[in-house]
Amino acid sequence: MGEPTTHYSLKYQARVLVAVPSDTITSKWLVGTTALREENEVRMLQFDADSEQLVCKLVYSHPAEVWDIAPCPTRDDVFVSVWAKGGNSSATLWKSVGDGGQASAQMQLEQQVELAGQSRAMRCALWSAQQTDTIVTLEESTLKKWSIAEAGAEATSSCPAGEMVQLWSGALHPRNPSLLCTAGSNDVQTWDLRNLGRPMGEIKMAHKMPVRSISFAPHNDTRVLTAGDDCKLRFWDLRNPGQALLELGGHRHWVWRALYNPVHDSLVASCSSDCCVNLYYTPNLATAPVTASATEVAGAPAAGGGTPAGPPATTPAATALGGTVVGAAGAAAVHKVPGRSGDLDGKVVSWDEHEDSVYGMGWSAAEPWLLASLSFDGRVTVNRVPKNIKYKILI
Amino acid sequence: MESGEDYAKRSERVKALLSSYYGDSGQGPSAPPGGHAQQGTPAGRGPPVAHIGGIAAIDTPTFNADQHTSDILRIFSLEKLMVEHRNMAREIKNIDSDMQQLVYENYNKFITATDTIRTMKSSIDAMESEMLRLQQTASVVAEKSLSVSNKLQQRRESMEQLYKVQRLLRKLQTVFELPRKMRAALEEDALDTAVGLYAEAQPLLHKYGGRGTFKVIALESDFVAQEISQLLKKRLTERKDDTEQCVLLLRKLGEPDDTLQDKYLTGRVARVKRKPLVTLSRELFGEYFSIVRRVVSDAAKAGVLRGSLLREARAQAAKEGGSAVLSVNSPALEQLSSDWGAEAIAQALSTMSIDVGLLAAHLPELQLKERALEVVQASIQQHVTLSFAALKQRVIDAAVAVRTALASEAADAGPGSAGPGAILQQGSVYLAELLQRGLAVLLQGLRGYESAGGARLLASWRDQWVDLVQGGLQSFFGGLLLASLELAALRYDGGDLMREALKASGTAGGGLVGQGSAGPDLMGPPTGPAGAAAGAAQELVKPGLVLLLAKLCKFLEQVMVPWVMETIAASFASAGGPGGGGGGGGASGVDLPPSFVPGEVARRLSAASSAMVLAYVEMHGRQLSVMVRRSTGSVSWLTCKEPRGPRPVCSLLLERLARVEAEAAGLLDEPGSSMGTGVNLGSSVHGAGRKAGDHRESGAAGTSALYGGISNPFGGRDSSAVERNVAKLFREKVHMTGSVPLASPAILAAIASVALKSLLESIRLETLGRAGLQQLQLDVASLRPHLRRFLLRGGGGKGDGAAVVEQLLEDVVLSATERCVEPQLLEAAVVERILASASSER
């Protein structure tokens, strides 16, 4: 802390905040409100670095509740929203139409096409950054891949998520356009987008409670971060689904979103319904050797999926439980191997300015040290990575 | 213009001719003009070219004039002939003038050459006289140089002579300095150097010793040599070990004493005899010390086993198993004695060191005293380390026994068993007792070193001894801490608390591992039910055990650490006075463990305790969370029917909470417990309690305002949002962060908060109908009084947890209202009626 924080308040409750990836000059986020009985809206907020303020650039009227937003990776006036109305939820591709040139922030949205799911429980939409004509929608029990064209959208393939699996969210690999990870129930599934059908691999019991969020490391091809209702963050190597690399705690209630910093492998942020946003710094994990290249990623989870996943609750550190304390010291030593700076992997800051559960969070696409978070009461907060951590990473 | 052209042509031709005359050298420069001429030829000499086509050219060497004339006459017409004639005439004229010019130029050159030759002739005449003058000058120079070199010759010779003299003088200098050097060497006790110098100069002095200044030098050096020889003789009688050396030096000094030979021989003989003797005794003493080490270490092990009753406790555990081990009245706890073998070891070691001290004078080569001190230190260090390790092991064994008992309890679940609460309570009392008594007797036992004649033993290294005991204590606490964390299956999770708790194990942990390997040496591998249970109970750590360990850490922090501090201050304070211990510890070197740092130990224990409480809360919270979420997911909130009573999940929730309360209260709130948990909640709870009080007063008003606010949404849209935000401003911030104090109401409140928060989150994911909202209102209404009762039970337990729970109950209804398409709450009276009828039905 000690760093100045910036606030912005929305009118209604809100759950969604995503960074706009197409703008790499200014930090922009899209936020959508989730008021059941009001006219909802989607706002584009821009961080003004000079005045340290959040400015509302655009307001789109979006009558239905917004549950998720997938911004277009190349244009900032196109996005997909996952919306709910009267207990049904679906997704729609929108394009903003304005009088152009006018200074007024109020803009109209023009519906391009509705990406209707098979069920009425749309959960999340993902827009591929690699193949910008590809969108994936996740329903509770179905995945659907869409191909976007000028004329409209076409569902190119779909498949069921599997028995007893309730999908919640997912993530597309930043460099491998065919790799998709989804969070379904307590597990994590990996899919090949070229051939949707069965999951390529699975992390069984990735968390003791449902998994809420998945994020790919920006530079390490096989590393993912998951977070779930068991209040933990876990780091995985997709090639080794039986054993988490590291488990981090620090939250007191469900973790709704955990995201890798888009530039630095060693920075991770998470938000939780205990009203806190935590920042973790993992220099040791991030510098652990990387041997896999992007091409291996596709094959590795398939091989891993065939092996029975061990019980993830037990880690080898717990095996030496006898009368001696050798095991304990050994377990401590595992995580005590000092990195080049001698820092331990762990939590560095906990921002607790929010007064309600924090559901939305996004790193700025333009400036890697900015993190915006959104709590249910409609409050957006922008925090900066503390200077000492910044210097540790840079120097 | 015509004439200009002609002139140019002419000069070209002249040049060409010249070049041919002078040969090839002119070819280069003339080539371009030649080209030019060829170009010009067709224009100027058109006709010749034309007629040349038929007949041989004039300029060729095979030209035949007659033939040419006849050819021309024969072929050409008159007119042409006329032209030819004119041309020919003109060419001839041209050539004539060219020739004329050439002749003139040649003549010019000839004149120039003649002039030059004439000039040369006149110059050479003058040169002869000049050369003559030069020769004379050179001979004068040679003459003068010879005379200079002759003059310098004399000087050079004298310089060479002087140099020789200087060299001689330098040699003499050493001779003059001889007495002074000898004296200096004598004063520095470098006798062999002095003798060497004397011996070297001896021949010289012998030769010239009778003359002038040399006489003085010889006298002086002889005098010094005399002194040296006296000194050597004295040394010869005093020191036996370097007799030979002295004799050799004396010989060098030319001492005529005949007895020297005998003396030399006797010294030599003594040395030859003593050498194997010393070797033998070194071996013997080596064996002696190793035997002493072994005996003392055996005695230490036996003493530690006797003191800690570890074997008895293990045997009892193996025999009786289960919770019987944990009885406070068990012999293994009752009979803990202060006899840890310290006095016996101290006596043995002091006897040994006295014996060795007597011998030390006779065998200076063996450094017996130092080695004896080493043995004493090592033995005592081993004993202290073993003692603490044994006590630590007993505590860990006891904790493992609790775990085993809990596991078997869960497996049996028979009606006759004491129940998990009883086991936990028993275990907690046992552990506290074991720690208090164990540490007391151990420290008392170690003081045996100071009483039984050991004071002399410790005299020379008292500071290190104190550091040793303190280091033992430090690693004892650190080891217990790590073991507790391990038993609770807590690992480093990046959080602040665990970071703090595991802080020093990077450095002290290394020592622990070392001791860990020393420990089994004493006790053998942990066998019996403990080992077997370790494997079985590993997967699932009972929450109760975690709480017990949390309490253990708290107890260590708040009771044992202060007690140990006092004890140390009383009996193990460093001799160096206040602060001396720390300084001694720092300076005593790297091989000793760090001394006891109570602040750090207490901090780590406290952090570990907090982390374990949080883990306990999380474990229970997770179970309740799953329960709440499943129950919420199974209801179709939008379409459900009018509520008839609270959902069954409410009573299930309360039931679980009651069980947790029994567990926590049984362990934490025992009356007259020495743990003093009520006191240690400390200032943080005081502040929180006051806040909770404030909230309490406004409780009723807050609730009604809240309900009023809920009816508002049908009014202005914006106003509701504003009101909501304003209402939030005035409310306590619902924060689940921070640590949870080790007291059952606070723990219970924290667990209930997690459960309610989960309910809140589940509801926020749904869309509710009117009936759904009312159902939830009923649920909350039925939970509220029960939860209040839980949280307020146990006297003044109005911790901040209670406020959070109240807050969350309200938030659940508020969130449900927000997520409801038709927000219409039941009247309070209706709620009560339904609840009453529901409870009567049951």
Kindly write down the DSSP assignment for every residue of A70-124, as one continuous string: EE-SS-SSEEEEEEEETTEEEEEEEEEE--SS----EEEEEEEEEE--SSS-EEE
Residue B689's contacts (CB-CB under 8 Å, 6 or more residues apart) are: B796, B798, B799, B800
A254 min Cα distance to partner chain B (Å)? 8
Q: What is the pLDDT of residues B180-213, one digit of tens each?
A: 888 888 787 777 777 887 787 777 777 776 777 7
Task: Please indicate whether, in this complex, the C-beta atoms of B530 and A322 are within 8 angstroms of each other.
Answer: yes
The rounded distance, in Å, linking the Cα atoms of A188 and A58 is 36
Question: Smallest Cβ distance to A325: which of B495, B512, B629?
Answer: B512
Which residues of A are less than 8 Å from B724 in CB distance? 377
Instruction: Look at residues A294, A309, A123, A290 and name the one whose alpha carbon lies nearest to residue A201.
Output: A309
A378 torsion bin: left (phi>0), alpha (psi -120 to 50), beta (else): left
- Most confident range (mean pLDDT) of A131-145, B580-594, B692-706, B724-738 is A131-145
B342: its two tokens: 């310290």
Q: Minimum mean pLDDT among B40-44, B297-301, B642-646, B680-684: which range?
A: B680-684
The answer to whether the CB of B659 falls within 8 A of the CB of B547 is: no
Burial of B159 (0-12, 13-18, 19+ CB in 10 A): exposed
B573 min Cα distance to partner chain A (Å)? 29
Structure confidence at residue B105 (pLDDT): 92
B803: its two tokens: 């406020």
Which residues of A are less than 8 Å from B489 in CB distance? 318
Structure confidence at residue B471 (pLDDT): 81
Q: Is A377 on the interface with B (CB under 8 A)?
A: yes
Q: What is the 3-state secondary structure (H, E, C) of B798-840?
A: CCHHHHHHHHHHHHHHHHHHHCECCCCCCCHHHHHHHHHHHHH
Q: What is the pLDDT of residues B377-432, one digit of tens each?
A: 888 888 888 888 888 888 888 887 777 777 776 665 444 445 666 777 777 888 88
Question: Is it the case that residue B287 has pLDDT exceeding 60?
Answer: yes
B547 min Cα distance to partner chain A (Å)? 17
Which residues of A are less than 8 Å from B715 in CB distance? none
pLDDT grade, residue B121 (50/70/90)? confident
A183 strand-pairing partners: A169, A188
pLDDT grade, residue B451 (50/70/90)? low
Which among A85, A321, A336, A353 is the top mutation candidate for probing chain B, defined by the most B β-carbons within 10 Å of its own β-carbon?
Answer: A321
Structure confidence at residue A205 (pLDDT): 86
Task: Give the residue, B779 or B369, on which the prediction is more confident.
Answer: B779
The rounded distance, in Å, linking the Cα atoms of B740 and A252 is 11
Structure confidence at residue B335 (pLDDT): 65
Task: Give the residue, B738 or B607, on which the prediction is more confident.
Answer: B607
How big is the CA angle at B110 (ends B105 and B115), to the nearest 5 degrees?
130
Whether the predicted interface score ipTM is above 0.90: no
Pairing label, strands A53-61, A106-115: parallel
Q: What is the pLDDT of residues B460-511, one digit of tens each?
A: 677 777 777 888 888 888 888 888 887 777 777 766 677 776 765 443 333 3
Question: Is it the case that residue B694 has pLDDT exceeding 50?
Answer: no
Question: Smallest Cβ distance to B735: which of A275, A338, A376?
Answer: A275
pLDDT grade, residue B589 (50/70/90)? very low
Provide the mean pLDDT of chain B.
71
Q: What is the pLDDT of residues B138-182, one digit of tens each?
A: 999 999 999 999 889 988 899 999 999 999 898 888 777 877 888
Task: Give the residue, B683 or A136, on which the prediction is more confident.
Answer: A136
Which residues of A are less than 8 Å from B388 in CB distance? none
Q: What is the pLDDT of residues A39-84, one digit of tens each?
A: 888 988 988 888 888 888 888 888 888 999 999 888 888 889 998 8
Q: What is the pLDDT of residues B17-37, one digit of tens each?
A: 777 766 544 444 434 444 444
The rounded distance, in Å, linking the Cα atoms of B488 and B614 is 12
Structure confidence at residue A300 (pLDDT): 39
Q: Minimum mean pLDDT among B12-21, B244-253, B696-705: which range?
A: B696-705
Query: Tokens 């650039």, residue?
Result: A57
The CA-atom distances, in angstroms, between B699 and each of A336, B731, B759, B827 are 48, 10, 22, 18
Find the mean pLDDT for residues A212-229: 89
Instruction: Look at residues B546, B512, B705, B536 and name the one whose alpha carbon lies nearest to residue B619.
Output: B546
- Most confident range (mean pLDDT) of A30-34, B517-521, B706-710 is A30-34
Instruction: Look at residues A209, A207, A213 and name the one whose alpha carbon lies nearest to residue A361.
Output: A213
Structure confidence at residue A362 (pLDDT): 92
pLDDT grade, residue B256 (50/70/90)? low
Structure confidence at residue B799 (pLDDT): 53
Task: Please indicate whether, in this complex, the C-beta atoms of B493 and A329 are within 8 angstroms of each other.
Answer: no
Long-range own/partner contacts, residues B321-324 (CB < 8 A, 24 or more apart): B321/B404, B321/B408, B321/B529, B322/B404, B322/B405, B322/B408, B323/B405, B323/B409, B323/B418, B323/B422, B323/B423, B323/B426, B323/B427
Instruction: Provide the CA B544 distance to its chain's centre, in angstroms.
Output: 39
A252: its two tokens: 């007191």
Instruction: Look at residues B72, B573, B819, B721 and name the one whose alpha carbon lies nearest to residue A65.
Output: B819
Q: Minimum mean pLDDT among B68-77, B188-197, B549-558, B676-685: which range?
A: B676-685
Task: Give the residue, B63 or A236, on which the prediction is more confident.
Answer: A236
Task: Please indicate whether, in this complex, the C-beta atoms of B513 and A329 are within 8 angstroms of each other.
Answer: yes
Q: Minimum mean pLDDT among B409-423, B543-557, B597-611: which range?
A: B409-423
Helices (H), chain A: 283-286, 294-306, 326-334, 387-394
| Type of residue at A350 | S
Instruction: Look at residues A148, A162, A242, A257 and name the one whose alpha carbon lies nearest to residue A203.
Output: A242
Structure confidence at residue A114 (pLDDT): 84
Q: Residue B352: in which H helix or E strand, if any?
A: helix B342-360
Q: What is the pLDDT of residues B205-243, one digit of tens each?
A: 777 767 777 777 778 878 888 888 888 777 777 766 666
pLDDT grade, residue B98 (50/70/90)? very high
Question: Is it the case that residue A327 has pLDDT exceeding 60?
Answer: no
Structure confidence at residue B293 (pLDDT): 83
Task: Please indicate whether, in this complex, the C-beta atoms of B737 and A13 are within 8 angstroms of each other.
Answer: no
Task: Give the residue, B484 or B56, on which the prediction is more confident.
Answer: B484
Find the mean pLDDT for residues B295-320: 74
Structure confidence at residue B538 (pLDDT): 42
Question: Is it the case that residue B779 has pLDDT exceeding 70?
Answer: yes
Selected residues 74-113 of chain A with any CB under 8 Å from a CB in chain B: 84, 86-87
Find the mean pLDDT for residues B63-76: 83
CA dihedral A173, A176, A179, A183 (to 10 degrees): -10
Structure confidence at residue B139 (pLDDT): 93
Find the mean pLDDT for residues B819-829: 81
Q: Is B821 on the interface with A (CB under 8 A)?
A: yes
B716 min Cα distance to partner chain A (Å)? 11
Question: Is it the case that residue B696 has pLDDT exceeding 50?
Answer: no
Find the mean pLDDT for residues B323-332: 60
Structure confidence at residue B787 (pLDDT): 82
The rounded distance, in Å, linking the Cα atoms of A339 and A336 is 9
Structure confidence at residue B738 (pLDDT): 64
- Of how many residues is chain B composed? 842
| Type of residue at B814 | L
Task: Give the residue, B699 or B744, on which the prediction is more confident.
Answer: B744
Q: What is the pLDDT of residues A345-354, one digit of tens each?
A: 888 888 888 8
pTM: 0.64
Task: Work out the percent of chain B whose per-residue pLDDT is above 90.
Answer: 7
Task: Please indicate whether, in this complex, the C-beta atoms of B493 and A38 are within 8 angstroms of each other.
Answer: no
Task: Please indicate whether, in this complex, the C-beta atoms of A323 and B393 are within 8 angstroms of each other.
Answer: yes
| Type of residue at A35 | A
Question: Is it the case that residue B703 has pLDDT exceeding 60?
Answer: no
The answer to whether the CB of B736 falls within 8 A of the CB of A252 is: yes
Instruction: Provide the CA B142 distance to its chain's centre, in angstroms.
Output: 84
Task: Give the residue, B621 or B667, on which the prediction is more confident.
Answer: B621
B396 min Cα distance to partner chain A (Å)? 6
Instruction: Provide the CA B600 distance to its chain's centre, in angstroms.
Output: 22
Task: Give the residue, A192 or A86, on which the prediction is more confident.
Answer: A192
Find the mean pLDDT for residues A207-211: 88
Find the mean pLDDT for residues A281-293: 68
Provide the mean pLDDT of chain A.
79
Question: Is it the case that residue B536 has pLDDT exceeding 50?
Answer: no
